């Protein structure tokens, strides 16, 4: 009996030792996961990240809504700020422990106003929107009742999805689902916004908000004319400056702030910051009544409450820190020169393509992008986008004035912010034009083999040996050229 009891005790002791050993091993493993680098803990994922880094380095990035952000921005995005929940506004949080988060958000707000030379007595700002689309939706939610009316530039004419795009058979954007939207248009011949027709339509439609904003329109907007139309029909003027926010900060394109009631923007396009959104709103006196008494703006609480708790939860504090350092960069002389170079590069790119016989919508550009109308050379936007990507030039297919379908567009949109960040100047645009021209001519040649269908066009590039060689040769030229220019950020990822 004693022997059996001793054996049982010994067995239990061994089990306890094994349990302690297991707990110790688990703790070590846990610490290893918490403190190891991603290239050690997840080499499969890290290999894909490095492939994307290689693609960015070896290609020419010409998507107008993309840019390469700075090392300080990337450093902010990967900080302990990510760990903190901060629902609410500075000084009005729902959780404790936000004393330093509050200081960071207030700094971002202060710098955002400074970047655009705004008086804090006249303008406020919300830096919490996750991106541009949620920022726009927050404005509509705060200022327009459900199924209230908005007007924005039609998507095929250079507007954005969030400005209310829908088709005859489907409401594409959530904006068109929850609000009643009616687009305004450009003149098909000139490609320019038809302000007189916009005014006539607004008088009939009586929108709550008119949106002065673009996604692919290469001329400055007439904010004064927008203001006049809004005043006539009693609408708010919302300027969506997502694409041109860097140009506006640098003072190299007309600013919407003189005329707008609300200004929304992303921070990752020409502004060259993190992927995020910002909303500026008017404060103070809006107008006077018949007795001369002031009528005050009431936008601040409406927009802030629409952002949270209306549409979002806790803000991304690491991104707000990145916005803060982006806005600081935007006040420097170097940033102004950068924005001037963006426009100079776009103009040089535009002229080079025009000299090659390509048609540019609106006849040119005054901003960071241009829209190439390929109808006169017999190419679709989809084929052009595909062949350019095959030779390591990234752009996007885009509708041109007169297109019937956003899914089958006739043009491509080209932008210069990312190339300018890497140090390309006007003379380099001449070489970029040569690459684009060679690629598009090659696309025409491939089309004679493949026929009109995109699927056959892609198959020919993939399977025809002569075509594969020509594409590979041009890709090698583009990548050799691209690698001459540095990229900001971390060297390896």
Closest alpha carbon to 446 in 388, 359, 373: 388
What is the gyration radius of the CA atoms in the chain, in angstroms?
27
Residue 80 a catalytic site member: no
CA dihedral 14, 15, 16, 21 (to 10 degrees): 90
C-beta atoms surrounding 13 within 10 Å: 10
- Let me know: does 155 contact 406? Beta carbons within 8 Å: yes
Helix (H), strand (E), coil (C) string for the chain: CHHHHHHHHHHHHHHHHHHHHHHHHHHHHHHHHHHCCHHHHCHHHHHHHHHHHHHHHHCEECCCCCCCCCHHHHHHHCCHHHHCCCCEECCEECCCCCHHHHHHHHHHHHHHHHHCCCCCCCEEEECCCCCHHHHHHHHHHHHCCCCCEEECECHHHCCCHHHCCECCCCECCHHHHHCEECCECECCCCCCECHHHHHHHHHHHCCCEEEEECCCCCCCCCHHHHHHHHHHHCCEEEEECCCCHHHHHHCCCCCCCCCCCEEEEECCCCCCCCCCEEEEEECCEEEECCCCCEEECCHHHHHHHHHHHHHCCCCCHHHHHHHHHHHHHCCCHHHHHHHHHHHHHHHHHHHHHHHCCCEEHHHCCCCCEEEEECHHHCCCHHHHHHHHHHCCEECEEECCCCCCCCCCCCEEEEECHHHHHCCCCHHHHHHHHHHHHHHHHHHHHHHHHHCCCHHHHHHHHHHCHHHHHHHHHHHHHHHHHHCCCCCCCCCCC
- Let me know: does 415 contact 63? Beta carbons within 8 Å: yes
Query: Of 268, 316, 350, 395, which residue is the catalytic one?
Result: 268
Through-space distance between the first and last CA atoms of the chain, rounded to whole angstroms:
68
Rounded Cα distance between 51 and 58, Å, is 10
Residue 463 a catalytic site member: no
Query: Of 76, 163, 216, 368, which residue is the catalytic one?
Result: 216
Kindly give, in sequence order, each residue whose CB lies less than 8 Å from that of residue 70, ignoring residues fewer than 6 positions away.
272, 325, 326, 329, 488, 489
Beta bridge partners of 93: 88
Residues recognised as catalytic: 216, 268
């Amino acid at each position: 009996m004693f022997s059996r009891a001793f054996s049982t005790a010994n067995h239990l002791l061994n089990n306890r030792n094994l349990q302690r050993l297991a707990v110790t091993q688990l703790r070590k493993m846990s610490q290893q996961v918490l403190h190891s680098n991603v290239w050690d803990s997840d080499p499969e994922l890290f290999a894909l990240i490095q492939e994307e880094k290689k693609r960015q380095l070896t290609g020419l990035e010409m998507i107008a809504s993309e840019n390469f952000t700075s090392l300080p921005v990337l450093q902010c995005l990967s900080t302990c700020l990510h760990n903190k929940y901060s629902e609410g506004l500075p000084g009005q949080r729902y959780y404790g422990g936000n004393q330093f988060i509050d200081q960071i958000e207030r700094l971002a707000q202060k710098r955002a106003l400074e970047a655009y030379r705004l008086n804090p007595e006249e303008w406020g700002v919300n830096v919490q929107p996750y991106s541009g689309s949620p920022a726009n939706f927050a404005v509509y939610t705060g200022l327009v009742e459900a199924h209230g009316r908005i007007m924005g530039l039609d998507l095929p004419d250079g507007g954005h999805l969030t400005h209310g795009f829908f088709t005859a058979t489907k409401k594409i954007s959530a904006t068109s689902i929850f609000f009643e939207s009616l687009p305004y248009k450009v003149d098909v011949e000139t490609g320019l916004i038809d302000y007189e027709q916009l005014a006539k339509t607004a008088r009939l439609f009586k929108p709550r908000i008119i949106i002065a904003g673009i996604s692919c329109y290469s001329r400055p907007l007439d904010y004064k004319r927008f203001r006049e139309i809004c005043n006539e029909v009693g609408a708010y003027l919302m300027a969506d400056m997502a694409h041109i926010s860097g140009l506006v900060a640098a003072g190299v394109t007309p600013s919407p702030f003189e005329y707008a009631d609300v200004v929304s923007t992303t921070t990752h396009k020409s502004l060259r910051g993190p992927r995020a959104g910002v909303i500026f709103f008017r404060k103070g006196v809006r107008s006077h009544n018949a007795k001369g008494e002031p009528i005050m703006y009431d936008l601040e609480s409406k927009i802030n409450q629409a952002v949270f708790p209306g549409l979002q939860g806790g803000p991304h504090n690491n991104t707000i820190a990145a916005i803060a350092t982006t806005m600081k960069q935007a006040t420097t002389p170097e940033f102004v020169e950068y924005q001037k170079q963006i426009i100079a590069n776009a103009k040089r790119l535009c002229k080079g393509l025009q000299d090659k016989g390509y048609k540019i919508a609106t006849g040119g550009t005054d901003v960071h992008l241009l829209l190439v109308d390929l109808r006169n050379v017999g190419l679709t936007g989809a084929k052009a986008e595909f062949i350019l990507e095959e030779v390591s030039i990234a752009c996007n297919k885009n509708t041109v004035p007169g297109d019937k379908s956003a899914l089958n567009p006739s043009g491509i949109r080209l932008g210069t912010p990312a190339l300018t960040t890497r140090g390309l100047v006007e003379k380099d645009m001449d070489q970029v034009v040569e690459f684009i021209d060679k690629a598009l001519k090659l696309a025409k040649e491939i089309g004679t083999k493949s026929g009109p269908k995109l699927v056959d066009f892609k198959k020919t590039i993939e399977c025809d040996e002569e075509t594969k060689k020509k594409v590979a040769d041009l890709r090698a030229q583009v990548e050799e050229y691209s690698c001459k220019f540095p990229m900001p950020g971390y060297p390896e990822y």
